Chains A and B, each alone.
Chain A
Amino acid sequence: AQSVTQLGSHVSVSEGALVLLRCNYSSSVPPYLFWYVQYPNQGLQLLLKYTSAATLVKGINGFEAEFKKSETSFHLTKPSAHMSDAAEYFCAVSEGGATNKLIFGTGTLLAVQP
């Protein structure tokens, strides 16, 4: 069975500092991995996805994530945090295929301090 673990339900950084949100996955088959962002009272927006091509994936808003099979990790990073990055971030895993079911982590709430 697939699962996702997000370490740290709350992360706080200063504006301009590095953002690092951690995600570890478990999957019996080569996974598809995703990061979604949710702004307050809104739906989820896809930030980036890994689908077995390049291990370093670049997404929107300056975010990127690196797939590390040996560590079963897919951590999300951004070199310099902006106030507008404050949101909740969800890591998700899928086996793909016809059903393409997503299994989500419990989320990490990112706060950006001025």
Chain B
Amino acid sequence: NAGVTQTPKFQVLKTGQSMTLQCAQDMNHNSMYWYRQDPGMGLRLIYYSASEGTTDKGEVPNGYNVSRLNKREFSLRLESAAPSQTSVYFCASSEGTGKIFGPGTRLTVL
């Protein structure tokens, strides 16, 4: 039982490049989430998926897209990376209250 896994752990991009952050959970949770963490700002919700086949915007969705590929996997895509997207990205899943977080992806956009 690995919980929530994220790949990659680290990534450096140039402005304008695209990439996809992968997230998978093995707890059979219905809900999955993507957050970004920036110094002094806590965690802010980017997108979430309440169940397989549905996705909704969070607080800061601009510049991102998501795909709920199946119940296990929820990916986050940056189509054209910008320096403002330099951050640590966390995926989480939940069934009911409380969330289980992944270890994070540290992304730098130059």
Interface residues of A (CB under 8 A from B): 9, 32, 34, 36, 42-46, 49, 51, 90, 92, 94, 96, 98-107
Contacts and interface: CB of A to CB of B under 8 A. Distances in A.
Contact of B104 (A32, A43, A90): A43
A73 B87 CA distance: 30
Which size class do B's interface residues fall under? 20 to 34
A96 B97 contact: yes
Nearest to B58: A101
Contacts of B53: none
A94 B96 CA distance: 11
20 contacts: A34-B98, A43-B4, A43-B102, A44-B92, A45-B101, A49-B98, A90-B43, A92-B43, A96-B97, A98-B31, A98-B50, A99-B56, A100-B50, A100-B96, A101-B45, A102-B43, A103-B45, A104-B42, A104-B43, A107-B40
